[in-house]
Amino acid sequence: METRRVLTPSLTSAIVVAGAAAAAFALLAPSAGAAKVTKRFSAYKVGSLPGTPAKYNKVFVTKYGPSRHNKVLVLIPGTNGGAGNFSLIGPELARRVPGLQVWAMDRREQALEDTSMMRKAAAGKATAQQLVDFYLPGTKQQYKPHQPKDFAFMKNWGMQMQVEDARVVVRQAAKGGRKVILGGHSLGASMAAAYATWDFGGKGGYRDIKGIVAIDGGLSATPSPNFDTTEKAQAALDNLDPSKDGPWGNLLRLPGFAWITGPFVEIGAFGAHQAPTGPSVLQTYPLISAVPGLQPPGIATDNAASLGYAFDYKTSPPNLRLIQVRSGELAASGDPRGWVDNGITPVQNIARGFMSDRNGTNGADWYYPSRLNVDTGGAAGIDPNSPGAKVLGLRITHLAEVNVPYYAFQTSLSGGTNGVINGATSFAERSKVPKNGLVLVDRATTTSHLDPLLAAPAKNDFIKTVVPFLKKIR
């Protein structure tokens, strides 16, 4: 099997002063003569899960592209991510690839979120400060967070849930004979790769799709030492039993506040969007201050700078590499201090990728099921006979049969170990990925984890390299 490595010149930088929101949004505008892209929202019923109330048996899809189309790219978000993360690349890819719709999938946990006030903000009827007062404890909080004891059933919301729910969406996308490409970002890319190998009633998932797009993710080429014995795998599963954080991921590591990551990032995004040069509405909030390095010590910032500082790879805490971009830096002076966009991802793009739209679609899961990460670890090495796969019930049995093209994009997150590239290469070598069907794009030195989703289109190497891949799928 031949592989093809895509290499393009290094990215260059442009300087845009933060606070000039109009200039940032100009980077998002379609080029002259580009096809108009429409946006639609759908919900689909999915299968039942042990102990899960029927009201959570649904997933949500935001669709970008022309009403007449012959192919669909279905994208799954990553750890703690939501469909809103694809709100920039979705329409951009639909403009550049004739006949393509992009379907951004939200997992069923989206139904746990009360986005009522976020939707008001999206409609221009609520300010970021009103969001603080509504959602955050210690203010005028009206929002009542879910309690872990009531959601023990989410221990079952893992890889099987994700691939079976994704199959409902894939089959909807395939109606009328349309070609479906399945992809995702980070853990979402892991789920796309797992889907291709998954056993659905004796048939491999790869039969449903025409290609795989792995954006800085996938399945590891080597087994995880955390799942190499039955005892270790069972312990990982047992650790999901309700605790102070419940069965939910706690990205900010604030004990008892797993849910708060979502509202934090949305409020920060709305602040940067609505009043970029106004004083930060979150910087002095106590739980923000409890996250080391999330904000600059002793420097008052505006809303744009508060968001940019938290996400930029030069200043964002090391344990938050999953949210990092290459955006810019604090202004040299000012009170409050502003933000200078001199990277590939303008701060307004960060805001666009995380704040809710009028349907409540957003970029951060509030109640992200940790079982997804456990199962991804158990699937590493893609061996259905491994202790991890057996204990966790992972039906990853069809790797050797997978015969669809595979695109992989790597950033600095796994660049040190070459994890994404190695994983994609191993996947192709052990399967029937077609001759010249493996496209590997290594941007470990020029991009961070969220840049492929949020970088300005003119500077986005993911967009530039995936478009030819998508055009070739017929």
For residue 21, the model assigns a pLDDT of 35
Length of the chain, please? 474
For residues 14-27, give the mean pLDDT.
32
What DSSP designation does 433 have? P
Tens of pLDDT, residue by residue over 44-87, are 999 999 999 999 999 999 999 999 999 999 999 999 999 999 99
Instruction: Flag whether 83 is in a domain.
Output: yes
CA distance to 208, 226, 249, per residue, from 371 (Å): 25, 14, 9
What DSSP designation does 147 have? P
- Distance separating alpha carbons of residues 220 and 376, to the nearest angstrom: 9
How confident is the prediction for the chain on average, in pLDDT?
93
Among the listed residues 294, 315, 293, 305, the one whose alpha carbon sits nearest the alpha carbon of residue 348: 305
Instruction: Flag whether 416 is in a domain.
Output: yes
For residues 444-464, give the mean pLDDT.
99
CA distance to 102, 195, 211, 404, per residue, from 206 (Å): 19, 7, 8, 7
Tens of pLDDT, residue by residue over 132-168, are 999 999 988 999 999 998 999 999 999 999 999 999 9
For residue 3, the model assigns a pLDDT of 40
User: Residue 119 belongs to a domain with what CATH number?
Assistant: 3.40.50.1820
Instruction: Flag whether 427 is in a domain.
Output: yes
Instruction: Flag whether 159 is in a domain.
Output: yes
Among the listed residues 432, 430, 401, 47, the one whose alpha carbon sits nearest the alpha carbon of residue 199: 401
CA distance to 2, 6, 134, 323, 348, per residue, from 436 (Å): 5, 12, 53, 32, 37
Is the peptide bond between 247 and the residue preceding it cis, with omega within 30 degrees of 0? no
* Amino acid symbol at 194: A
Tell me which of 8-12, 55-59, 380-384, 433-437 is least confident: 8-12
Instruction: Flag whether 49 is in a domain.
Output: yes
Query: 185 pairs with which residues across the strands?
Result: 215
Going by pLDDT thresholds of 50, 70 and 90, the confidence category of residue 244 is: confident
Going by pLDDT thresholds of 50, 70 and 90, the confidence category of residue 386 is: very high
For residues 20-36, give the mean pLDDT.
43
For residues 112-133, give the mean pLDDT.
98
Domain count, the chain: 1
Instruction: Flag whether 349 is in a domain.
Output: no
Instruction: Flag whether 138 is in a domain.
Output: yes
Among the listed residues 396, 404, 406, 399, the one whose alpha carbon sits nearest the alpha carbon of residue 431: 399
pLDDT above 60 (res 8): no
Could you list the residue range(s) of the whole structural domain that residue 419 is in?
3-14+34-247+369-472
Instruction: Flag whether 410 is in a domain.
Output: yes
pLDDT above 80 (res 24): no
Going by pLDDT thresholds of 50, 70 and 90, the confidence category of residue 241 is: confident
pLDDT above 50 (res 15): no
More confident residue, 36 or 64: 64
Tens of pLDDT, residue by residue over 399-444, are 999 999 999 999 999 999 999 999 999 999 999 999 899 999 999 9
- Distance separating alpha carbons of residues 149 and 430, to the nearest angstrom: 43
